[in-house]
Every structure is written in C-alpha cells, then in structure tokens.
Structure 1
Amino acid sequence: MTSEQAYYNTGYKKSISDTHAIRTVENSVEYITNVLQPDFKVLDVGCGPGSITIDIAKNYLSQGGSVIGIEPTPEVIDTANNLKQSIAADVDNVSFQIGSIYKLPFDDNTFDLVHAHQVVVHLEDPVKALKELARVTKPGKYVTVKDGDLDSILIYPPKYDVLKEYQSKGALNRGSTDLKAGRKLLSRAIEAGYKPSNITTTTSTLSFAGQKETKKTWGDLLIKRVETGGEVFVVDDEKKNEEAKQEVIKVLQEWRDDETSVWSAINFEITYKKA
C-alpha cells in the first residue's frame, strides 16, 4: 500500500522542515514565473513549511489570484500556518490544508497552476501523483514540477566527498527517495499521460560556494538536521550510526567554513500545458 507520507515516515522533524523554509520563488522555482499570472488560482502540492507558497501569494498574485498549500502531515501544516502568521499575517490569499498528492481534495479542472517542488522525488508512486496533478489542472493551464537529482551532487575539495556518500545513504534509508528522480521526471510525466509536445523542460543548479552568507546558512541548517532530524546513515547499528553522524557534523563544519569549498547539484523542471 502506498504511504501518504513517505518523507516523514518516522515522524515529523522540524530541523528537516527548516532546511526547506529558506526556499523562495526566486531562489528555488523561478521557472514557474514563465507561466504564472496575477489572477491565477494556484495549488502548491507538498508545500512543506510554506515559504514558497507565501511568497507566491505576497509577490506574484493579485487581481483575485490565490494559492492553497497542501501536505498530508498535520505538523507540517501547523508549521506553514505559523510561518504565515509570523511573516504574512495580513495576506489573505494564501491558505494551507491537509491533503494527499495521490487523492487531491479538489474537483477536476480547478486550478490554473498546480505546482510541486522537490516532492515527486520522494514518492513511492510518482506516476500516480503526476496524473493527479494534471487532473485538478484546468485545460489549457499548467502543471509545474521540479525534482532534484541527488546523484548529480558535486562537492569540492575531494576531502568532503563523504558528504555526498552520507547524504545518499540518509535519503535511501528514508525508504522512498529516488537519487536519480530529476533525470527521470520527463519520462515519468509522459508515462502519466502528459502530451510530450506540451511539455517544456528546463534545468537549474543549486550551488553554494565561497564565503557567501547563503552557504553558511545552508551549512548551519544541515548540521542541525543531522543533529536532531533523525537521519539514519547506518541501519540497525545505533553505535555506528552515531559515529557516522558525528563524522558528518565535523565534515559539514569544515566544509561550511572553507572559503574554497563548493556544493552543487542539478535540478530538472517540467512545465506542462494541459491539453
């Protein structure tokens, strides 16, 4: 049976959610602005802590436009509502509710834009989910999906290569994450019934380098996530897993403070105009 929430399958951890809360339209999903219009009715599926959802509402919608963010986990919805209250209490065109990507609680042909960012990568049945995204999209309107490709991560200098190894292990041990999901996104969309001639494909790069403040922020968030997020690097051996965690924390600290260090990964995006 397909799990409604494979990503937080061992329970919600705020330190994991916090690594998603720095996301905005500009730094994470700028490609959606190619089709997003101020009067659109938008659905943000797998919205996480809601930072992108709120940004869409505040800075990209007007003229009656609105956005709903959905997640299957109540704690994540609580986190999103708390963020809204703290940074956008006066914004009335954004809301959050519980919902599953496999059975969206909306009628056919409801939304002008249905969006999923770094969601399909973690799903047990990505094709079923992609079909559902298209179902609630109006004919002639848009589905936008972006997936990371964890297998493409590049870290430099080589002494930090262990970070990629452990990130892959942590992702795989969550049970559903596909390390090559990004490169598979187009073929999965076509399998889900998306008309190939109506799909636009793009790529973007996540990159942290040098001494930029964003790199320090990312490093700090990753360290906190390893410390308290319940990440599992070694299965069925608590002692070895703890040793691995401490090694990851030490190397992350060194990488964060190294002015020569780099972290980069490819992301794949599709924009589908529903036939």
Structure 2
Amino acid sequence: MANDQVYYSKGFKKSVSDTHAWRTVDNSTKFITSVLRPDFKVLDVGCGPGSITVDLAKNYLNENGSVIGVEPTQELIDTANEFKNTAAPSLNNVKFQTGSIYELPFEDNTFDLVLAHQVIIHLQDPIKGLQELARVTKSGGYVAVKDADLESIIASPEKYELLRNYFVEKAKNAVSTDIKAGRTLREKAVKAGYKPDNITTSKSYWLLADDIEAKKQWVELTNNRIKNGGEVIYPNDEKKNEEVSNQVISKWEEWVNDETSLFNISHFEIVYKKPV
C-alpha cells in the first residue's frame, strides 16, 4: 500500500516546509487562472504551508467561493493555519484539514477546481492519486496539476553544476520522487483515465537570475533546509554526505553573489476538464 506522505516520511521539518512558503498563485499556479472563477469551490491537495491556498481565498475567490487545503501531516495543517491567522486572519472562505490524496475525505463531484501543485512528483502511486483528484471534481469542472522536471534543471555558469546535481541526486535518494515527473505528467494523466482531448498541457519555469532579493531568499531558505532538513544524498556514508552538503552550501553562497549566475527549474502543467 502506498504511503500517503512519503515527502515527510522521516518526520516533519519546518526548514523543508519553509522552502515552499514563498509560493503564490502568480509565481506558481498562474496556469489555473484561465479557468478559475471567483465563485468556485476549490480543493488544494498537498497544500503545504498554505501560501497558495490563502492567496486563492484572499485574491481570487469572492464571498461565494471557497478553498480547502488538504495535507496528510498534522504539523503542516498547523503550519498552514498559523500562516492564515497571521497573513489574513479575517478570511472565512479558506480552511485546512487532514486528508490523503489516495482517499480524499469528500464525496464524488464536489469541487469546481481541484489543484495539486508539486504533489504527483512525490507519489508512490501517481495514477491512483490522479484518479482520486478527478473523482472529487464536478462534471464539467477542472483538475489542475503541476510538477517540476528536476532532471532538466539548469545551473549556470557551469561551475555551479553541483547545485543542479545536488537537487537531482537528493531526489533520487528520496523515498519517492520522480525526477522526470514534469515531462511524464500528461502520460500519467492519460493512464489515469483522463480523456486526452480534454487535457490542456503547458509549461512554465522558476528562473532565478535578475532579482537579487529573490536569489538571496532562495539561498537562505535552501541552505537552512540543507543544514536542518535531514535530507541526504549518501544515506550510507554520513561523512561524505556532510562534506557534499557543506560544498553545496558554500557554492550557493558563491552563486548568490555572482552577477552572472542563474538557476532554472522547468515545470509542466495540465488542466483537465472533466467530461459532463
């Protein structure tokens, strides 16, 4: 049986969830805005620390719309509620609750839009997860899924290739992370029973290059995660893992002060209209 929370299988780490808290609709899920309406009933599956969920409620949904964020880990629900209470305490159209993507606690045909951002990439059974997203979506509603393609990361100039390799190798040593998840997302959706003619595929990216403050924030969060997140590249060689981790931390500090540097992560997205 698939574990419903392999991402935090070794225990919740705030330094890991903090690296997701900068995400908003505009910088991470803008692809849904072409179908999103203010009165939609939205489900955000794998909502993490809740930054996208709260943004949806605050800036994209009206008093007739609502959004629920779901995570199987209680610590993440607590983190998301804390974020909501700090960032938008008066919002009453958003809530968070525990739930597994493999068995969502909602009836069939409940939501107008179901979102899974950087979730399928970590699943042991992505097909089952995609099927469950479609189950709780209304007929005529939308399933919106986005995943990174870690194998296609670009770190430049070439001397920063270690940063790219660290991301890829860490993913390979995770309990379950697909480094080609982005490029295979449409394929997985079709295998899950999504009608090909009802799928719209798109591509986007996170590019760190010109915005110095964004680069500083990225490096601060990433290096804190390396130091405190408990993630490893060499699980059977503690000394080598520590050496490489220190090298990566040092390289990020060099990268952030290099005016020529950039880091790019490509993503693939699908919006599926569930047949009526």
- Per the shorter chain, which TM-score range? over 0.9
Distance 2:232 2:87 in 1: 33
**Counterpart mapping for 1:237-252 below 5 A:** 237-252=237-252
Which residue is 1:267 aligned to? Answer: 267
Does the aligned pair in 1 maintain the 2:63–2:93 contact within 8 Å? no
Choose 77-86 or 232-241, whichever is displaced more.
232-241
1:203 Cα deviation after fit:
0.4
Q: CA deviation at 1:210?
A: 3.6
Instruction: Give SS of 1:86's match.
Output: helix
Alignment of 1:1-275 (within 5 A): 1-275=1-275
Deviations along 1:154-194, one digit per CA (max 9) or x if unpaired, are: 01011110111111111121220000000000010001011
C-alpha distance in structure 1 between counterparts of 2:234 and 2:247, whole Å: 12
1:63: Cα distance to partner? 4.0
C-alpha displacement at 1:266, in angstroms? Answer: 1.1
Paired AA for residue 246 in structure 1: N
- CA distance, structure 2, for counterparts of residue 38 and residue 67 of structure 1: 11
Q: One-letter code of the match for 2:133? A: L
- Give the Cα separation in 2 of the matches to 1:162 and 1:214: 20
Q: Measure how far apart 1:234 and its partner are.
A: 1.1
Deviations 1:53-79 (A, max 9, x none): 000000000141000000000111110
Over residues 226-266 of structure 1, what are the superposed CA-to-partner deviations in whole Å (9 max), with x where a residue is unaligned?
01111101121111111111111101111111111000121
Once the two structures are TM-superposed, the CA of residue 211 in structure 1 deviates from its matched residue by 4.9
Aligned to 2:207, what secondary structure does the other structure show? strand
Cα distance in structure 2, aligned partners of 1:229 and 1:235: 14
Q: CA deviation at 1:212?
A: 2.3
Q: Which moved more, 1:103-112 or 1:159-168?
A: 159-168
Work out the percentage of aligned pairs sharing the same amino acid.
Answer: 59
The CA distance in 2 between the partners of 1:215 and 1:166, in whole Å, is 17
Kindly provide the amino acid, as one letter, of the partner of residue 249 in structure 2.
I
When structure 1 is superposed on structure 2, of 249-258 and 203-212 the one drifting more is: 203-212
Mapped contact 1:234–1:241 kept (Cα < 8 A): yes
1:242 and 1:212 map into 2 onto residues whose CA distance is: 28
Residue 271 of structure 1 aligns to a residue in which SS?
A: strand
Structure-2 change in CA distance of 1:202 and 1:211 (3 Å) = closer
CA contact (8 A) 1:210 1:260 kept: no
CA contact (8 A) 1:77 1:97 kept: yes
Cα gap change, 1:103/1:205 in structure 2, threshold over 3 Å: closer, same or farther?
same
Count, aligned residues: 275
SS of the residue corresponding to residue 131 of structure 1 reads: helix
Amino acid at match of 2:188: R
Q: Which moved more, 1:116-125 or 1:252-261?
A: 252-261
Structure 2: gaps spanning 5 or more residues: none
Range that drifts further, 230-239 or 78-87: 230-239
